[in-house]
Structure 1
Amino acid sequence: MNDNKMTAVEYRATWGLGTVFSLRMLGMFMVLPVLTTYGMALQGASEALIGLAIGIYGLAQAVFQIPFGLLSDKVGRKPLIVGGLLVFALGSVIAALTDSIWGVILGRALQGSGAIAAAVMALLSDLTREQNRTKAMAFIGVSFGITFAIAMVAGPVITHAFGLQALFWGIALLALAGILITLTLVPDAEDHILNRESGIVKGSFRKVLANGQLLKLNIGIFCLHALLMSNFVALPPMLEKAGLLAAEHWKVYLVTMLISFAAVIPFIIYAEIKRQMRRVFIGCVAVLLLAEIVFTGAGLHLWSLYIGLQLFFLAFNIMEALLPSLISKISPAGFKGTAMGVYSTSQFLGVAFGGMLGGWLFQLDGARMVYMGGAAITLIWLLISIRLREPPYVSSLRITLSTDAAQDTTLTQRLQAQPGVVEVVVVKEEYSAYVKVDTKLTNRQRLEQLVAE
């Protein structure tokens, strides 16, 4: 038997949880390209309140994500996932039934409150073996990118055909479909595995927050999603004023996403295989700054808006792939799960900040002010990023220990003596060894063999 081949349970867990995660994110992002155009017809709507409606789900998500992840250790993964999806569905129904911007704001806040991402990742960790977990996590990462592209196209199409309320009804159905998949397709976990690579560990936040390199990356994901949300406050109405009907926006997003996804691949290969992540990272921030400058000078010139949009999403999609990889490489051994939790919280705080700031600036002085604000954010980010060091090109591994191996006082030294191993943390109470290793020099099988010996 090939021990690295996924079992039927692992396949079901990966596909099922990946689908649940994607359905929820699809519901979140479909609203993004349409709310500033169709939402202005809601009672009491203003540009500032539209920005609040766009960003408030991020604030709710940031508040509840880590507590819900820790709570899932006590109440169970599946009950928390189902409960979170029910809250998400309730928020969608409230937004569908209202004709007021305040009803949509309440609905979006409830959508964000159903924060299930940490519980989904924890359940995936429970249901997959160490040697296959990276593949399962990568599948969810890829599905996130595809889901975002689908949302950019599907949101305008559905809203033009059936209206904004119908879009929210559709999002509620997606949440119910996620519940059905969780209860029927996703396997039950026999045990909760305490895995510091995918789960949050109490008392470890200080070590993660004090890491200067991780702080730069958390600022980066904050700025990236702040730019995304602020741009989508201003961009859809500006495309419409420039002569592109709202019903046709999906065509622009489709072409943009296809081009950017195709262009991402060689940059990621260059960054990872050629070990030039810092150069690609700083280059992407510079391209984002250029995109904001292009937007600022575009006015109502449609082709200038197209060019700015293409530049933005080229850099955005590269950064979406690059940043989690950098977090994994830089986070201390045994703290990757906590580092990813702080990273995700920073991302959703950026969503909240960007939506609210974009709405306020748009109401204050129009789209040009929004783009100038985006350029200022990106310039600050660029100045911070220049001080980012080249990361160590290592992978984070968790190796399960037997009772005898966990008590072996020489294990840490023997693991650290292996080629490519840069850091080892043995947690004997958890029967685990967390290793940062250059897998070009030493692989998992060799380390597991060493532990077994």
Structure 2
Amino acid sequence: MTPAERRISVALASLYACRMLGLFLLFPVFAVAVHGLPGGNDPARVGLALGIYGLTQAVMQIPFGLASDRWGRKPVVLAGLLLFIVGSVVCALADDLFWITLGRAIQGAGAISAAITAWLADATRDEVRTRAMALVGMSIGMSFSISLVLAPLVVGWAGLSGLFWLIAILGVASLLVAAFRVPVVPRQMTPAVQGAVGGVFRHGGLLRLNLGVFVLHLIQVALFVAVPGLLVRYGELAASELWKVYLPVILVSFVGMVPSIIVAEKRGRQPEMLRLAVLVLVLACAGMALAGAHFAALVAALMVFFVAFNILEALQPSLVSRLAPPELKGLALGIYNTAQALGLFLGGLLGGRLLAASGSVAVFWSCSGLALVWLVLARVPCRVA
């Protein structure tokens, strides 16, 4: 990368990481921390509150992506972050699950993932874009990893309301980074023709990647409707002690993820690495189903899951940006992030209902089956140099 590409990649990765940390902080503890609130003992309502963010994200991703193509990335990102902050404050002030669900919906309306990713694509050349996207992907994985350790500590010290206030602060930090640290990048202004727009929706490689991110995030949220309660039960831990499990999990997952990304980048084997990571995802979810009441086996399967998750988070958006027409990156990434958001929503909704009806084992086998469908359908989406 050139120094300018490196600077803007680091700035955007830090912006993305700060915002995603605000999102991810809920996943490790929400299902157990919400028990003290009215409605907090209903797994279906808990799953809806966790996943509703994804529904409003899904509604707004394409409009925000198109808006960023027309009016620029920065104003769209700033507007989305303001909505995220407002929603976080609503959640922090809530005294029952209904208001948390409403606040989560407002948070999700700030759907800026596509605009941020398109901003990064504008700022980097094709030959280094995978590295830049991998940096963002690794920052997302690192945010998730930090959230696994930080969330139990914050909930133990300040409760669920304190966690939402921290999320609001992270939103403000993201707003400041976007406003003052990330420069405006000239965009390719080739007019988008109607046929090109339709082609983005019909492109086979993009469709497969959209399916993949949908399945990945559905599985992510569904697992975290079920997993925290099992860790508390089988590990005899309080919610504030879950970091004792999550810390070794994230350390092992990064040891496994980083070499995989380096190999895929240097050898141009991103599609093959993607399929291998999906296979690992299938096995990890099956391992959770087979773990039963064995705490160590559940933790081991969780480690394997995060290795695959972090690899896929780094690879997929890079491939999307390389397949999309330059003048329609915002639209293509908007569609991709809409699929991601729908996965977040359905993961919470279906995971909660399945947990209430059939238990955690059914959740894990369902996740493994979905990952298997993804593996069967996954083909090389493009030739990557």
- TM-score surpassing 0.5? yes
Show the counterpart of 2:179: 183
Q: State how far apart, in whole Å, the 2-side matches of 1:351 and 1:96 are.
A: 21
| 1:156-305 equivalences in 2 (<5 Å) | 156-187=152-183, 189=184, 193-194=187-188, 204-242=196-234, 243-305=236-298
Partner of 2:383: 392
SS of the residue 1:43 aligns to = coil
Letter paired with 1:393? V
Q: Distance in 2 between matches of 1:206 and 1:216?
A: 16
Q: State the structure with bigger RCO (CA 8 A, min sep 6), 1 or 2.
A: 2
Q: Counting helix residues as a fraction of each chain, which structure ranks higher?
A: 2
Aligned to 2:383, the other structure's residue is in SS state coil
Greater per-residue strand proportion? 1
Report the secondary structure of 2:111's partner residue.
coil
Which range is displaced more, 92-101 or 74-83?
Answer: 74-83
Q: 1:329 to 1:130 in 2, by over 3 A?
A: closer
Report the alpha carbon displacement of residue 130 of structure 1 after superposing the two structures with TM.
4.7
Per-residue CA distance 1:310-346 (angstroms, 9 max, x = gap): 1211221222223234334555676655433322221
The count of residues paired between Structure 1 and Structure 2 equals 382
Give the direction of change, closer, same or farther, for the CA distance of 1:238–1:162 in structure 2 (3 Å limit): same
Equivalent residue for 1:317?
310
Per-residue CA deviations over 1:378-406 (Å, capped at 9, x if unaligned) read: 22223223xx1474123xxxxxxxxxxxx
Q: Which residue of 1 aligns with 2:30?
A: 35
Q: Residue 81 of structure 2 corresponds to which residue in structure 1?
A: 85
**Unaligned runs of at least 5 residues, structure 2:** none
CA distance in 1, matches of 2:121, 2:323: 21
Q: Which residue of structure 2 aligns with residue 6 of structure 1?
A: 3
1:378 to 357, 360, 371: 371
Per-residue CA deviations over 1:212-237 (Å, capped at 9, x if unaligned) read 23322221111111111100000000
Deviations 1:66-88, CA, capped at 9 Å, x for gaps: 21232245555443333222211
Offset of 1:175 from its aligned partner? Answer: 1.3
Aligned partner of residue 3 in structure 2, secondary structure? coil
Counterpart of 1:219, as a letter, is L
For the 8 Å contact 1:285–1:378, the answer to whether it is kept is: yes
* Amino acid across the alignment from 1:281: L
Which string of whole-angstrom CA distances, capped at 9 and with x for unpartnered residues, describes residues 336-365 of structure 1?
554333222211111111111101101112
**Displacement after TM superposition at 1:280 (Å):** 3.2
Q: Secondary structure at the match of 1:360?
A: helix
SS for the counterpart of 2:242 is: helix
Measure, in 1, the Cα distance between the counterparts of 2:340 and 2:187. 26
Tell me how far apart the structure 1 counterparts of residues 272 and 10 of structure 2 sit (CA, whole Å). Answer: 34
Report the Cα distance in structure 1 between the residues aligned to 2:180 and 2:26, rounded to whole angstroms. 28
Alignment correspondent of 1:62: 58
Cα distance, 1:183–1:240 mapped onto 2, change above 3 Å? same
* CA shift in 2, pair 1:206/1:72, >3 Å: closer
Q: Is the contact made by 2:204 and 2:381 (CA closer than 8 Å) also made in structure 1?
A: no
| Counterpart check, 1:21 vs 2:16 | yes
SS in 2 for 1:160: helix
Q: Whole-Å Cα distance in 2 between the matches of residues 85 and 336 of structure 1?
A: 20
Q: What's the % identity of the aligned pairs?
A: 42
Pair 108,382 (structure 1): closer, same or farther in 2 beyond 3 Å:
same
Letter of the 1:360 partner, please give it: R
Residues 134, 315 of structure 2: 8 Å contact kept: no
- Give TM-score scaled by structure 1 length: 0.76
Who is 2:333 aligned against?
A: 340
Higher alpha-carbon deviation: 336-345 or 59-68 = 336-345
How far apart, CA to CA, are the structure 1 residues paired with 2:273 and 2:120?
31
Alpha-carbon contact 2:69-2:331 (below 8 Å) kept: no
Q: How does 1:396-411 map to 2 (within 5 A)?
A: none
Give 2:92's aligned residue: 96
Residue 378 to residue 13, structure 1, CA distance change in 2 (3 Å): closer
Pick closer, same or farther for the CA change 1:51–1:214 going to 2, 3 Å. same
RMSD of Structure 2 on Structure 1 (CA): 2.8
- Aligned-partner residue type, residue 141 of structure 2: G
- Once residues 347 and 285 of structure 2 are traced to their aligned partners in structure 1, the CA distance between those partners, rounded to angstroms, is 14
1:36 is displaced (CA, Å) by 0.4
Alignment-derived partner of residue 356 in structure 1: 349
Letter matched to residue 6 of structure 1: P
Counterparts in 2 of 1:185 and 1:380: CA distance versus 1, 3 Å:
closer
CA offset at residue 52 of structure 1?
Answer: 0.8
What amino acid is aligned across from residue 283 of structure 1 in structure 2? L
Q: Deviations over 1:275-317 (max 9, x none)?
A: 4444433332222222222211222210111121012112212
Compare 346-355 and 176-185 and name the one that shifted more.
Answer: 176-185
Distance 1:101 1:113 in 2: 19
